[in-house]
């Protein structure tokens, strides 16, 4: 018994040691960027974890001398509407594949499964040509359509797995009472699917919020720029050395995602586990 107790204590110490080291590696860059954003001057190399002095001048510079608020507004608009459209498309597609049997169902599921194997940037040329023909280049709605369409394969598979785990007896009872498919979907399936819906919605908000590649491809004019493009141009090129200002912008970029994570942490974890286990 003593040997088992000693081995358990040693294993616990090792586990806590590994977790502590991992936390240090994760938190050190975050703390370094935050302190760097309040470090006087333009250089991040002189940043220390415990600086001698802190300043908010870079945050003031962002709001007063750059178009940071415009970039923030544009990115928030794209992320919000993509979250709405993507979640609606994903959930309705998943419900159709989960509950209905129709010609081409299996082929559609296999197509979505195969599409997940290829990175999105492989279709950049085709997407660019399509948006050009639809006159949606340098347009936020063109970007939103790209994001919304690209979110369907992964999201639909995940939500379908969740729907498959819900008992069909609830829908059958509702049909006996005269409820239509639309009413069953909104009154029964949606409330029962809150965890997976929150996961999909938050995931579809974070994607456009952090994206640079497609935004850089589609958006051209300065008034349409997103945060990723604006911050990149702030430090790209030989003349641009505003790395501490860039750090301040990066800190503010992370705020909405951090808030969403803390608000919906339980639902995110529950939704991810349920979508992965049921199906």
Average pLDDT over residues 53-74: 87
* Dist. CA 66–CA 76, nearest whole Å: 17
113-138 pLDDT, tens digit per residue, is 887 777 777 778 888 888 889 888 88
Asked if residue 164 and residue 83 are part of one domain, the reply reads: yes
What pTM, to 2 d.p., does this model score?
0.82
Instruction: With cut-offs at 50, 70 and 90, classify the pLDDT of residue 17.
Output: very high
Asked if residue 103 and residue 13 are part of one domain, the reply reads: no
Q: Name the domain count of the chain.
A: 2
Asked if residue 265 and residue 133 are part of one domain, the reply reads: yes
Instruction: With cut-offs at 50, 70 and 90, classify the pLDDT of residue 4.
Output: low
Instruction: With cut-offs at 50, 70 and 90, classify the pLDDT of residue 160.
Output: confident
* Dist. CA 100–CA 183, nearest whole Å: 15
State which of 38, 57, 76 marks the end of a domain: 57
State which of 57, 77, 101 marks the end of a domain: 57
CATH number, domain of 185, equals: 1.10.3720.10
Asked if residue 186 and residue 83 are part of one domain, the reply reads: yes
Asked if residue 94 and residue 52 are part of one domain, the reply reads: no
Which range of residues forms the domain containing residue 190? 59-277
Query: Per mean pLDDT, which of 22-26, 45-49, 56-60, 185-189 is the most reliable?
Result: 22-26
Residue 48 has pLDDT above 70, yes or no: no
CA-CA distances (angstroms) from residue 90 to 40, 63, 211, 249?
46, 36, 20, 32
199-222 pLDDT, tens digit per residue, is 889 889 998 888 888 898 888 888
Asked if residue 50 and residue 125 are part of one domain, the reply reads: no
> Which of 171, 147, 115 has its CA nearest to residue 219?
147
pLDDT at 279: 44
Average pLDDT over residues 243-256: 85
Contact status, residue 208 vs residue 75, Cβ threshold 8 Å: yes
Asked if residue 170 and residue 131 are part of one domain, the reply reads: yes
């Amino acid at each position: 018994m003593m040997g088992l107790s000693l081995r358990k204590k040693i294993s616990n110490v090792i586990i806590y040691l590994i977790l502590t080291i991992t936390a240090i590696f994760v938190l050190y860059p975050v703390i370094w960027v935050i302190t760097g954003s309040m470090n006087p001057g333009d250089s991040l190399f002189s940043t220390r974890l415990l600086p001698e002095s802190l300043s908010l001048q870079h945050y003031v510079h962002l709001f007063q001398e750059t178009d940071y608020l415009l970039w923030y507004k544009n990115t928030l608009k794209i992320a919000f509407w993509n979250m709405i459209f993507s979640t609606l498309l994903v959930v309705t597609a998943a419900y159709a594949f989960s509950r209905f049997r129709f010609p081409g169902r299996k082929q559609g599921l296999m197509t979505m499964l195969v599409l997940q194997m290829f990175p999105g940037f492989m279709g950049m040329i085709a997407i660019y040509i399509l948006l050009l023909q639809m006159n949606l280049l340098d347009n936020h709605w063109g970007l939103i359509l790209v994001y919304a369409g690209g979110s369907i394969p992964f999201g639909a598979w995940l939500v379908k797995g969740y729907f498959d785990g819900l008992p069909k007896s609830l829908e059958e009872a509702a049909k006996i009472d005269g409820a239509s498919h639309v009413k069953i979907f909104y009154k029964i399936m949606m409330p029962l699917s809150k965890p997976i819906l929150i996961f999909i919605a938050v995931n579809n908000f974070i994607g456009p919020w952090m994206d640079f590649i497609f935004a850089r491809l589609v958006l051209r004019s300065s008034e349409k720029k997103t945060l990723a493009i604006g911050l990149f141009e702030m430090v790209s090129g030989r003349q641009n050395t505003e790395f501490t200002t860039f750090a301040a912008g990066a800190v503010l970029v992370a705020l909405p995602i951090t808030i969403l994570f803390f608000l919906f942490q339980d639902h995110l974890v529950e939704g991810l586990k349920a979508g992965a286990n049921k199906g």
